[in-house]
Structure 1
């Protein structure tokens, strides 16, 4: 797949010179496994060229928290609350080196997220609500994926799983996790992984690496939350359904325990009958 000259040009030296000393907001962690739920990392700001060189190091002479801290950049829009990430706007020089695969109509484009990770960094398991390509430009990543149908075994909190260490999970704390079927692939420079919407993924940077994540809208535009700049807010109809369910569960609390249990089971059966896909088994 033709990706342009980025796979050969994007060395540490070239990246540093191409975008210079513009300020970037980054994640800094003293541990390899970053946890968005407990926020075991801090946000810091660095000039881009300084950040790139630090992220490529294993041990640092200059650091925020520890000499072996890990760095992660996930590009955002000019105003992260209102603007989407678009490499053409945030990193225009580097954008010229990339040829994004044309597998969707231009009006479906949502975002192009520029990512840089230290070696050994592991991102939390989560799902996105849009189809996307993970383009590995330099370095190696290991990606572990789980089907949407395995959501009951992933101990979810919103769009994220509580299970951080997918290679050595705490089975006493997460006994159902063993039921989730694991898919795994290794991405090298120039590889492109298609991640369907709602598929859970956990990403481990085996080496210092640079990637580009391209998201597009495959549902009608009105299906998505207009305030979503990251591509991870549930579709509007799904959000409304969850709110209705929460109100229904609150109403069940008015019943004695025996009745509450009975009618909750009836609700589950009705959801299975009306909403589950038959081919899910």
Structure 2
């Protein structure tokens, strides 16, 4: 969900990554496997260097808007108190009713990922050359149908 990070007291450093950088963040579910964004293990996560880093510092009284889907890493620079205010902007049925903090994917995205996982498992029944061919066709179809066109 979209949220405001409100720094009541103390200081924090916030590092953000655009949803467009998801291919470089080594996602596991809704989280990145790269926990140390300042000193990432580039042998294990070589594509992480391609992710564009946005960074800011919050001090007492500062408020940061963190849009939905933006990955963020928050580091306390000193003891403090902060508060998040989340809100839902999609229709109510889009959200998992058990997801208080908006950490789960929207329901339609969860279903799509489950369907994709089943499709990939089904492709395992084919010989490698066929599996490769049909997986590439699936990628092309996803690119044609699902990605925003940024060319104009």
Q: Deviations over 1:77-96 (max 9, x none)?
A: xxxxxxxxxxxxxxxxxxxx
- Cα distance between partner residues in 2 of 1:230 and 1:156: 19
Q: Kindly state the Cα deviation for residue 170 of structure 1 after the two structures are TM-superposed.
A: 1.1
Q: Deviations over 1:8-52 (max 9, x none)?
A: xxxxxxxxxxxxxxxxxxxxxxxxxxxxxxxxxxxxxxxxxxxxx
CA contact (8 A) 1:149 1:280 kept: no
CA contact (8 A) 1:155 1:163 kept: yes
Q: Kindly state the Cα deviation for residue 230 of structure 1 after the two structures are TM-superposed.
A: 2.4
SS at match of 2:8: strand
- Cα distance between partner residues in 2 of 1:212 and 1:229: 15
Q: Deviations over 1:103-152 (max 9, x none)?
A: xxxxxxxxxxxxxxxxxxxxxxxxxxx10000000000000000001011
Q: Kindly state the Cα deviation for residue 280 of structure 1 after the two structures are TM-superposed.
A: 8.0
CA contact (8 A) 2:7 2:58 kept: yes
The structure having more radius of gyration, on CA atoms, is: 1
SS at match of 1:279: coil
CA contact (8 A) 2:86 2:101 kept: no
CA contact (8 A) 1:138 1:211 kept: yes
Q: CA RMSD in A?
A: 1.2
Q: Deviations over 1:236-261 (max 9, x none)?
A: 10011011101111110111000000
> TM-score if structure 2 supplies the norm length?
0.97
Aligned partner of 2:66 in structure 1 is 195
Match 1:263 to one of 98, 109, 134: 134
- Cα distance between partner residues in 2 of 1:185 and 1:132: 16
Unaligned runs of 5+ in 2: none
- Cα distance between partner residues in 1 of 2:39 and 2:149: 33
Match 1:179 to one of 30, 34, 50: 50
CA contact (8 A) 1:144 1:202 kept: yes
Cα distance, 1:155–1:227 mapped onto 2, change above 3 Å? same
Q: Kindly state the Cα deviation for residue 276 of structure 1 after the two structures are TM-superposed.
A: 0.4
Is the counterpart of residue 280 in structure 1 residue 147 in structure 2? no
- Cα distance between partner residues in 1 of 2:150 and 2:58: 30
- Cα distance between partner residues in 2 of 1:150 and 1:240: 22
Q: Kindly state the Cα deviation for residue 169 of structure 1 after the two structures are TM-superposed.
A: 1.0
Q: Kindly state the Cα deviation for residue 182 of structure 1 after the two structures are TM-superposed.
A: 0.3
Q: Kindly state the Cα deviation for residue 229 of structure 1 after the two structures are TM-superposed.
A: 1.9
CA contact (8 A) 2:5 2:85 kept: yes
Query: Size of the alignment, in residue pairs?
Result: 152
- Cα distance between partner residues in 1 of 2:83 and 2:90: 22
Q: Kindly state the Cα deviation for residue 231 of structure 1 after the two structures are TM-superposed.
A: 1.3
- Cα distance between partner residues in 1 of 2:143 and 2:5: 33
Unaligned runs of 5+ in 1: 1-129
Q: How does 1:64-103 map to 2 (within 5 A)?
A: none
